[in-house]
Copies of this chain bind each other. A is one copy, B any other.
Amino acid sequence: MNPFPKKSATAWPTMLPPTLQQHAEQRSFDAGATLFRQGEVPRSIFYVLAGEIRLLRRERDGMEVILQRSVSGFFAEASLETEHYHCDAVAARASLVLSIPIQAFREALDEDRSFCRRWMSLLAREVRTLRAKCERLCLHGAEERILHYIESEGMAGMVRLGQTRKAWATELGLTHETLYRTLRRLQQQGIIRIEANCIRLIR
């Protein structure tokens, strides 16, 4: 059932200082499992080793918005500062996660200057990514958003999609139908080239 053996060979995150590694507990989640729910009090910081965790918020009408997708690394970084979670965390696939007690984490930030620097750098990177995403979502037109995504998330005019197109559509603030159609049109016009889950910008 669980695809991850207890003693996993997965690379331990180099970012984590030794002190914290002692406190870190490895946990596995089946697809669909909930790590935490909106409103709960944060007790741990999580680090994805394998699989995929999604932060999502459910709207009035039942629609759910994906706030963050994590395939590797920390997620819900802001929960370090908050009294309550602002969203749910759900395993999109079977996943392996490090769980670090929040108290130990705070102490490590206080004591380990190098770790603290890396943490700030991580937060700053998150801010930049989110700003780029906001900029993209402010664009009207499916085409513009897709091209903006390739340019800002990809390297050298090429992105590797680590998700289904349906999920990508949600991230772009579009319906999946519109995404499919626009992709097809862009390819027909010779603006992009699609191979498996790589999309390349021509020119």
Q: Which stretch in A7-15, A26-34, A113-121, A158-166 binds the other chain?
A: A113-121
CB distance from A3 to the nearest CB of B (A): 30
Total copies of this chain within the assembly = 2
Contacts of A139 in B (CB 8 A): 59, 65
Interface of A, helix, strand, loop or mixed by DSSP: helix
- The answer to whether A135 and B81 touch across the interface, beta carbons within 8 angstroms, is no
- Residue of B whose beta carbon sits closest to that of A66: B138
How far apart are the CA atoms of A126 and B120 in the complex, in Å?
A: 12
How many residues of chain A have a CB within 8 Å of chain B?
38
- Residue of B whose beta carbon sits closest to that of A79: B124
Contacts of A77 in B (CB 8 A): 124, 127
CB distance from A32 to the nearest CB of B (A): 22
Map CB proximity to B onto A67-95 as digits: 1 under 8 Å, 0 otherwise: 11000000001101110001000000000
Interface residues of A (CB under 8 A from B): 57, 59, 65, 67-68, 77-78, 80-82, 86, 109-110, 113, 116-117, 119-121, 123-128, 130-135, 137-140, 144, 170, 173
